Structure 1
Amino acid sequence: MKRILWLLALGLVAALAIPILIGGRGIVTELRGFPTSQLLLMMGMILVCWNLNALRLRLLLAGRAGKLSQTRAFSIVMATEFAICATPGGTGGPLTLLGLLARRGIRPAQASAIFAVDQLTDLLFFLSGLIGVALYVLIEAVDLKLGWLVGLPTLLLLTALVMLWLTLTHYARVMHVTGRWLARLNVKRRSRFGFARRLLHFRNSLIETLRLPRWLLLAVFLLCCAHWLIRYSILYLVVQGLGQHIDWAWTFLVQMVSMAAGQLSFLPGGAGGAELTSSALLTPLIGAQSAAAAVLIWRFVTYYFYLLAGFPIFVATAGKAFLRMMNKQRAAGKR
C-alpha cells in the first residue's frame, strides 16, 4: 500500500510538472481566461458518464446481484474508477469491482466475466471510432504521414480481439500450454490445477454473460458508446474554451494515443506519459502555452476529479475489501 501511495504521489507530481514546464509562465494567463461555466459543464458530463456506466453494470448483472439500485451501482462505478486511477496500470479497478460484487453474492469468476464483457464493449467502440477517424483522414486528405496514429492503435485493438477469440474457442489448448509454462516455472501441481479451474470458471461465466438477450447486449454497447463519446468530447470543449479550434476527430485520436502511451509510464492514471504525449500532439496545432493549459484542464476533469470525487466513495464502500484482497494476493505471491 505504501508503494501505491508513493507511485500515486509521483504520478501527481509528473502530471502537474510536465504541462507547467511546457507552457511556462504563460499557462497561468491561459488558465485564468478559461470559463468557469465550461469547467462545470465538463464535470457534469463526467457525472453523466458515471451514471451511464452504472446502468451498464446493472444490465450486465441481469438481476444476479439482487435488486441493485442506480445509486448503489453508481457508488460501485465511482469506487472502481477511483481504484483504476489510483493504482499502476489500473490494476486496482478489477479487484475493487470483484470485492464489491462479492458482497452481493457474485462469484469472482462471474465478476471477472462482467468486467471482461465491459472491456470488450470498450474495445469494440474504440475500434469503430478508429475506423471512423481513418475514413475522416482519407476523405479530408489530412497529412497521411500521421497515419500511424490511426494504424497502430487499430492493430493493437484487433490483436486484442483476436487473442480473446482464440482464448474462448481454443481454451483447452490455452490451458494446456499455460500449464506447461507454469510447470517449467516450478509452480506446484495444486496451484496449476487451481489456476486452470479458475480459468475454466471464468470462461463459462463469460460465455454465460455473452448469451444474455441480444437487445440487452446492444443496449450495453449503446451505453458504452454514449459514455465514451461524452468522455472524449472533454478535450474538444477544453480547446474551445481556450479560444482555439481543432476538429473533434483529432481530439478523439489525441486522447486515445495519449491514454495508451500513459499505460507505458506504469504510474497511476497513466500520469506523465499521457501529459507528455498529448502536449506533443497538440503543440503544433495550438501552440505550447494553449496545449499545456488544455492538457492540465483536461486531466483535471478526467483524472484529478476522478480521484477527488471517488476517494470518499471508495473509502466508504470498498476500502476494507480492497485491502483484504491486496493482502490475499500478497500472501498468494509469497507461497
Structure 2
Amino acid sequence: MNAASAKGISGAKLLIAFALLATICVPIFLGGTETFGALLRFPPAGYISIVALVVLNWLARTLKLQIMLRQLLVHAPFARVLGVSLAADFGFMVTPAGIGGYAASVYFLRRIGASTSSAAAITAADQLLDVIFFMLAVPVAGISLSWSVMPRMTSIGLPMALIACLALSILWVVWRTYRLALDDSRRCPRRLRRAAFALREFARRSRTDAQLLLAGGSFFAACICALTALQQIGRYGVLWTIFAVLGYHLSFALVFVLQTLVVQAASWTGIPSGAARPRSD
C-alpha cells in the first residue's frame, strides 16, 4: 500500500469518526438534553434495536451509493463510500433546508474518484429515489390510518402548501432567468450569460451520466429501490422503536406520516436540523 492510499484510508476513518460524533452531539446541543437523559434509562434490548436500525440505514445508503458509483465505473472502497454517506447526512442535519448535504455529497464523491457530473448525477438520483419512496409510502401509510386520525393532521396542510407555492415560484424565476440568458437576441449581463452556458454544458454531462445510471437494467433498479426502502425504514423506524420501548404502542404508519411531515416542515425553518430548544412554560 503506497503513502497516498494509506492517507486516503486514514482520512476516510477520520471522516467517519467525525460524522458519528457530530450525529450524536449536534442534536444534544440543539435541545436534546432531556431526550438524551431518557435514552440513558433504556433497557439493553432497546439500545440493540435502535443501533440495529441506525446501522441498517447506514449500510443500505452506502451500498446504494456504491452500486451507483460502480455503474459509472468508479470503484471506491466501502469504507470511503460510508464516509461520504455519513458526511452528507451531517450536511443535511446542520444546514438550513439541508442544502449542505447536497454540496457535501458532490464534494466527497469527487474526492473518491467521481467526476463533477457523475457526483451530481448520483446525488440527484439518490434524492429522486427518496422522493419516489415517500410519494409511494406516505399515501399508503395515510390510507392505512383511521379517518379519526387523519383530520388532525390537516392543519399542517396549509403551511406546507404555501411553502410549496413559494418554492415553485422561485424555481420558475430561476428557470426564466436561465432561458433568457441563453437567448442571444436579448441583452443580458455577460457574467450571467457565461454562467448560463456553463450550466447548460454541465447539465449535458450530467444527463449523459444519468443515462448510464438508467441503463443499469431491471436488477440494478430493483437493488437501488430495495436499498432505498431499507434505508428509510431504518431511519424512520428509530422513533417508532423509541416509543415502543417507552411503552407507547403507536401505529408505525402514524409515526411515519407525522415524522415525515414534521421533518419536511422543519427543514424549511432556517434553523440547522430544523431543531430548537423546547420551551418550559
Is the pair's TM-score, using the shorter chain for normalization, greater than 0.5?
yes
Offset at 1:46?
A: 0.8
Residue 50 of structure 2 is aligned to residue 42 of structure 1:
yes
Unaligned runs of 5+ in 1: 1-8, 280-287, 289-335
Q: Contact 1:65/1:105 (CA < 8 Å) preserved in 2?
A: no
Unaligned runs of 5+ in 2: 1-24
Identity of aligned residues (%): 21
Q: Contact 2:61/2:227 (CA < 8 Å) preserved in 1?
A: yes
Partner residue, 1:301:
none
Residue 232 of structure 2 is aligned to residue 216 of structure 1:
no
Moved more, 238-247 or 102-111: 102-111
Q: Distance in 2 between matches of 1:249 and 1:153?
A: 22
Residue pairs, 1:210-289, within 5 angstroms = 210-272=214-276
Q: Contact 1:94/1:115 (CA < 8 Å) preserved in 2?
A: yes
Q: Deviations over 1:21-64 (max 9, x none)?
A: xx9xxx96x55653244134312321221111111011111253
Q: Distance in 2 between matches of 1:76 and 1:85?
A: 14
Q: Give secondary structure in 1 for the equivalent of 2:273.
A: coil
Residue 184 of structure 2 is aligned to residue 176 of structure 1:
no
Q: Contact 2:72/2:209 (CA < 8 Å) preserved in 1?
A: no
Partner residue, 1:15:
31
When residues 255 and 143 of structure 1 are mapped into structure 2, their CA distance, relative to the original with a 3 A threshold, is closer
Partner residue, 1:125:
133
The alignment's TM-score, normalised by the length of structure 2, stands at 0.72
Partner residue, 2:154:
148
Offset at 1:70?
A: 2.4
Residue 91 of structure 2 is aligned to residue 88 of structure 1:
no
Partner residue, 1:190:
194
When residues 82 and 31 of structure 1 are mapped into structure 2, their CA distance, relative to the original with a 3 A threshold, is closer
Offset at 1:106?
A: 1.6
Q: Give secondary structure in 1 for the equivalent of 2:272.
A: coil
Q: Contact 2:160/2:265 (CA < 8 Å) preserved in 1?
A: no
The alignment's TM-score, normalised by the length of structure 1, stands at 0.61
Q: Deviations over 1:262-302 (max 9, x none)?
A: 11221222223xx87xx9xxxxxxxx9xxxxxxxxxxxxxx
Q: Contact 1:49/1:230 (CA < 8 Å) preserved in 2?
A: yes
Q: Give secondary structure in 2 for the equivalent of 1:244.
A: coil
Q: Distance in 1 between matches of 2:106 and 2:273?
A: 20
Q: Give secondary structure in 2 for the equivalent of 1:233.
A: helix
Offset at 1:112?
A: 0.7
> How many residues get paired?
247
